[in-house]
Amino acid sequence: MSTDKYSAGRLNLPFVGICTFGKRPYVADWTQIDADVAVLGAPFDFGTQYRAGSRFGPRGVREASTLFSFGHAGAYDHEDDVTYLPDSVRIVDIGDADIVHTDTAQSHANIKTGVQAILEAGPFRW
């Protein structure tokens, strides 16, 4: 019996559904992170006076990363003949840190809270 996503009946292709990093599970409760890798977005660009927009970076990275979920586990590199980030690497997306418009100190504190939650969960256990 095949275990690929094509045989399961629900493909969850890159262009459908909720956009998380690599279409991996979303964990809203930062006290419940149980993974090898946790992805946190920090959509902050208050430091620029011209051409702001880096706040959209985390969303763009997530959107681009969905291409690695095209029915296969991970991202296959044909030059190395290796699949990187297979299903055996447990990755979760914990969303973005809350950014408070016009409050840089609080925004940075919120980013720090997210990073601390990841570190306390102890990911990166390969």
Place of tokens 């996503």: 5
Q: How many residues make up the chain in this entry? A: 126
Write the single-letter amino acid at 1: M
Say if residue 76 is exposed, middle or buried (CB neighbours under 10 Å; 0-12, 13-18, 19+).
Answer: middle
**For residues 75 and 70, what is the distance between their CA atoms, to the nearest angstrom?**
9
What is the chain's pLDDT, residue by residue, as a tens digit (126 residues)?
Answer: 456 656 666 666 667 778 899 889 999 999 999 999 999 999 998 877 777 788 889 999 999 888 777 656 677 788 999 888 888 888 999 999 999 988 999 999 999 999 999 999 986 654
- pLDDT for 89 equals 87
pTM above 0.75, yes or no: yes
Query: Looking at residue 78, what is its pLDDT?
Result: 84
Position 1 scores a pLDDT of 47
Q: Which CATH class is domain 13-121?
A: alpha beta
